[in-house]
Amino acid sequence: MSLPAVFVAGTDTGIGKTHAACALLHALREAGESACGMKPVASGCVDTPDGRRNEDALALLAAGSVPLPYELVNPVALREPLSPHLAAAHEGVTISLPPLREAFDALQASHDRVVVEGVGGWLVPLAPGLFASDIAKAWQLPVILVVGLRLGCLSHALLTARAVVADGCRLVGWIANRIDPAMDAAEENLATLRTLLHAPCLGVLPHGEVEPALAARHLNVKSIIA
């Protein structure tokens, strides 16, 4: 099952999608693949002399195989740190899929693998009638789910996995991220996730500010590139 592109979804916002996506990029590169990241829509961007920039998109850019134009990695950069549909409305912008697809096609044409990171959770609104999940659906991208290990993660993970499948997408794996080092029964929760999530666990990322290149050692990407 060789996957030229994957969509990284999360059980919520702030659970480490970018960290996992960057680690995934490094793991792919270490396996000999040319790989790049993409953040189609990002809110919470800052204006710089080079243009509007987003911290997560810059991290993905840095984790890729080669330098790329920022606008290809993050076509829609919104200033306010809000749900994208609100941040876009405040700027008089309407998010639509065709410009995002154009950037994605350019990235895919020049790389073996493209890791597309979503925004927030699976059903974050982007525009009237358009959700973050529609990117994965429209582009037929297999999904990797990032699960933040903390109280409540079991329900969040299972509900998101159910929504992914209900939307007609393939859940091809999941990555656990230890965001709460004091989580009670963490190993038992991990065991429960391994039993109830009907997709392989690609790895468990340790807690703390671990460099993506080091975090990559905790991932197994054989199922993506085989």
Gap between the Cα atoms of 107 and 24, Å rounded: 17
Does the annotation count 39 as an active-site position? yes
Residue 148, beta-bridge partner list: 177
Q: How many CB atoms lie within 10 A of CB 76?
A: 24
Catalytic residue among 17, 39, 137, 222: 39
Which of 13, 14, 38, 16 is CA-nearest to residue 25? 38
**Are 176 and 147 contacting, i.e. CB atoms less than 8 angstroms apart?**
yes
- In the chain, the DSSP E strands lie at 5-10, 35-38, 41-42, 46-48, 51-53, 76-77, 113-117, 125-127, 130-131, 143-148, 171-177, 201-205
The amino acid that residue 132 corresponds to is: A
For the annotated catalytic residues, the residue numbers are 39
